[in-house]
A and B are shown apart, each in its own frame.
Chain A
C-alpha cells in the first residue's frame, strides 16, 4: 500500500491528506476564516505555504484562496495549526484534533469574564454595544436564575479586545496571544489605496477625518488597542509602509519532553521580531 498526499478543494475549505497511511493525518484550512496573515507560512519548516495577493483577493480582482499549500512539499507535521490565531487551520491525527492530544501546544489567549459583575448589572440594554462589537459574533447574553450571564465561544475567538473596551467596565478582560508593536512609515504610504483597512481583521487602520475642508488630511491613522499583530497588513501593503513586530507569543501545553518539543521552541523563536521576513 503506497502513501499518497492529496488535496481536496471545496468552496469553503482546503483539505490535505495522506491517503493510504496507517496514521491518517488531515490538514483543513477554512478559507473563510483565513485572514492571510502568513504566520503559518513563516513557521512551516518546509516552506510549503505561500500567501496570495491579499489586497486583490479582498477586492475580488482575482479568485484564489489567501493561502496555498503545496502538496509536493507539505509533510503534514501540524506546526501551522497551533499558531493560527484565527482558527482557520485545524489538524486531525487519527480523527482526533491535535489540541486534544498531549504534546501539542496551542495559543494561550484568554477571555476572562467576571460573572459577579455581569450579574450585578440588571439593565440588559447596557450590553447592546458589547454584544454587537464582536467581529465574529461570539458573545451571547443569557439569563440563569434571574441573573444575567455572558457566554463567549472561545473556540473561534482571536482575542482582539473589542469586547473588553465596549462592554461595561471590568466585565470582560482579554489577554492577547500575540504581543507586539505596530509602526507606520508615512513617507512611503500614498494615503489613498486603503488595502490595509480592508485586510485588517479588527479595523485597526482608518483614514483620518478632516477638520476643515481646506486642510490636508493625515495619510493614515492606526489604533493599536485592537491589533492582534497578525501581520496581514505588512504583507498586503504594496508600499512597504507598515511594520509589525511580534515580541511575544503566548503558548500553553508546551511540552519539552516530547521529541519535537525543542524544535517547537526554536520555530516559535523564529516568528519573533528581528527574524521575521
Chain B
C-alpha cells in the first residue's frame, strides 16, 4: 500500500500539483490548463488553502509528477505497512478471542496515529508478535480455533 503525504506546513496551495496530475486531467479537462478542478472526481485538489488527496485509493498508478513538480517539496509518496497492520490487528483479535492476553490497546493507539506519521512503535510490536508466534503452524492452529494443538506445538518447542 502506498499513499501521498502532504506536508501542510510547507504547502502553499499553489495548485501546481493539481495542474500536473495526469489523473486529474483524465477526469476533468479544466485542470489541464491550470484552472483547478470542477468535478468531484479530481484526485488531488486545493481545499482550504492547501493541497489534499480527494480521490480514491490507487494501487500502482502513482506517477510521481506532483512529487517532482512541487516547489516546496511538500508532497511525498510513502509506502505504508498498512497491509501488515490490519493483518496484525486481525491476529490480535483472534488471539484475544482465545483469551491470550496481548497489549491490543497499545497497538490500537498506534494504529490511530498512523495517518499522521509512520508508526514505528507498531513495527516493534509487530516484530515482537512475530517473535512470539514464529511458528506458522501455531498461528494456523489458533486461527482455526484448535487451541489444544496450538498449546501442544508451543510446549513442544
Instruction: List A residues at the B interface (Cβ < 8 Å).
Output: 2-5, 36, 38, 50-56, 58-59, 61-62, 64, 70, 72, 188-190, 192-193, 195, 235-241
Residue among B22, B58, B61, B79 making CB contact with A62, cutoff 8 Å:
B79
CB B118 to nearest CB in A, in angstroms, measures: 13
Which of B23, B62, B137 has most A Cβ within 10 Å? B62
Residue among A51, A55, A72, A190 making CB contact with B64, cutoff 8 Å:
A55
Cα separation A236 to B65 with both chains bound (whole Å)? 12
* Contact in complex: B68, A59 (CB < 8 Å): yes
* Contact in complex: A193, B20 (CB < 8 Å): yes
* Contact in complex: B60, A193 (CB < 8 Å): no
Cα separation A275 to B149 with both chains bound (whole Å)? 41
Cβ-based interface call for B42 (8 A)? no
* Contact in complex: A195, B87 (CB < 8 Å): no
B-side interface mostly: mixed
CB A186 to nearest CB in B, in angstroms, measures: 11
* B94-140 contacts to A (CB < 8 Å): 134-137
* Contact in complex: B22, A5 (CB < 8 Å): no
Cβ-based interface call for B83 (8 A)? yes
* Contact in complex: B136, A5 (CB < 8 Å): yes
Residue among B25, B77, B87, B157 making CB contact with A56, cutoff 8 Å:
B77
* Contact in complex: B67, A193 (CB < 8 Å): no
**Interface range, B side:** 20 to 34
* B40-86 contacts to A (CB < 8 Å): 43, 58-65, 67-68, 76-79, 83
Please, which residues of chain A bring their CB within 8 A of the CB of B87?
Answer: 72
Cα separation A40 to B76 with both chains bound (whole Å)? 28
Please, which residues of chain A bring their CB within 8 A of the CB of B43?
Answer: 238
CB B74 to nearest CB in A, in angstroms, measures: 13
* Contact in complex: B60, A235 (CB < 8 Å): yes
Given contacts A51-B59, A62-B2, A70-B83, A239 and B25 within 8 Å (CB-CB)? yes
Given contacts A55-B64, A56-B63, A61-B67, A190 and B26 within 8 Å (CB-CB)? yes
* Contact in complex: B135, A53 (CB < 8 Å): no
Residue among B32, B61, B135 making CB contact with A238, cutoff 8 Å:
B61
Instruction: List B residues at the A interface (Cβ < 8 Å).
Output: 2, 20-23, 25-26, 32, 43, 58-65, 67-68, 76-79, 83, 87, 134-137, 157
A-side interface mostly: loop
Q: A53-B77, A55-B62, A238-B63 are in contact. List 16 more A-B contacts (CB 8 A).
A: A2-B157, A3-B136, A4-B136, A53-B63, A53-B64, A56-B63, A56-B67, A61-B68, A62-B64, A64-B79, A193-B20, A236-B63, A238-B43, A240-B26, A240-B61, A241-B26
Please, which residues of chain B bring their CB within 8 A of the CB of A36?
Answer: 60
10 nearest A-B pairs in the assembled complex, by CB-CB distance: A53-B62, A239-B26, A190-B25, A55-B63, A188-B26, A56-B64, A61-B64, A238-B23, A193-B22, A59-B64
CB B27 to nearest CB in A, in angstroms, measures: 8
Cα separation A55 to B23 with both chains bound (whole Å)? 13
CB B55 to nearest CB in A, in angstroms, measures: 10
Which of A3, A36, A52 has most B Cβ within 10 Å? A52
Given contacts A52-B2, A190-B25, A238 and B68 within 8 Å (CB-CB)? no
Which of B32, B58, B61, B87 has most A Cβ within 10 Å? B61
CB B62 to nearest CB in A, in angstroms, measures: 3
With both beta carbons as reference points, the residue of chain A lying nearest to B61 in the complex is identified as A238
Please, which residues of chain B bring their CB within 8 A of the CB of A240?
Answer: 26, 61
* Contact in complex: A239, B64 (CB < 8 Å): no
* Contact in complex: A50, B62 (CB < 8 Å): no
Please, which residues of chain B bring their CB within 8 A of the CB of A64?
Answer: 2, 79
Please, which residues of chain B bring their CB within 8 A of the CB of A52?
Answer: 2, 60, 79
* Contact in complex: A238, B58 (CB < 8 Å): yes
* Contact in complex: A238, B59 (CB < 8 Å): no
Please, which residues of chain A bring their CB within 8 A of the CB of B60?
Answer: 36, 38, 51-54, 235-236
Cα separation A50 to B60 with both chains bound (whole Å)? 9
